[in-house]
Amino acid sequence: MDALNYPLSSYYDFQTGQIVPRDSYRQIHLSDMRGYYLADRETLHEPLKEDPLLYEVYECQVPAKPGEMVPCSTIIHPGSVGGEFYMTKGHYHSDTNAAEIYCCLRGHGLLLMQHGGQCLVETMKPGALVYVPAGWAHRSVNVGSEDLIIFAIYPADAGHDYGAIREKGFLKRVLRGPDGSPVVHEAS
Ligand code: PAN
Ligand code: ZN
């Protein structure tokens, strides 16, 4: 990107998670997540009966070069697919030296972080500040009944590698228990 007007200043709505003006924005529907959910394994090639919006991501556009940082907001809506809570795809950073900072503004969730056969689960509630170390895959899961809103900052040249998670998933899955509360299962 060429024409940048400094300083870059936006408005972040803590209630909705929206960043205004909207630089970069994407919506992820269920149809974008084929193969990610356990229940989807059997029905992968069947047409979807409905296609709900699972999460939205706002990112401020900055040059993708060393030293620059991307502020971003993720809004994960409440719900589940076959008893598995709505979640982000999850990814590694292509640059294995790129860490990230996550801060939960609203809602109730879990952050899965995985590296070298180890999968950690951190609670995300308003004020939770989690450091995602370099080299760790990360996925946010909304286990509450309202939107989960997370602010994050990552190096602009980090790059996103979705392949390994898309193929193998995380070592843990978060499912709705009999009383509606989240239960973390070892992935089969
Ligand atoms: C976040 C994620 C965002 C959406 O900004 O990109 O929460 O998750 P997926 O990218 O896994 O779909 C981040 O970790 N950026 O590096
Ligand atoms: Zn990331």
Sign of the Cα pseudo-torsion (171, 176, 178, 183, in order): positive
- Of 75, 88, 124, the residue with max ligand 1 atoms within 8 A of its CB, to mutate for a pocket test, comes to 88
pLDDT tens digit string along 106-159? Answer: 999 999 999 999 999 999 999 999 999 999 999 999 999 999 999 999 999 999
What total number of domains does the chain contain?
1
Q: Domain with 123 in it: what CATH number?
A: 2.60.120.10
Does 152 contact ligand 1 (Cβ within 6 A)?
yes
Kindly give, in sequence order, each residue whose CB lies less than 8 Å from that of residue 132, ignoring residues fewer than 6 positions away. 99, 100, 101, 102, 111, 113, 138
The residue whose CA is least distant from atom 5 of ligand 1 is 72
Its domain, for residue 161, covers 3-186
Contact assessment for residue 71 and residue 153, using Cβ atoms and an 8 Å cutoff: yes
pLDDT for the residue numbered 43: 65
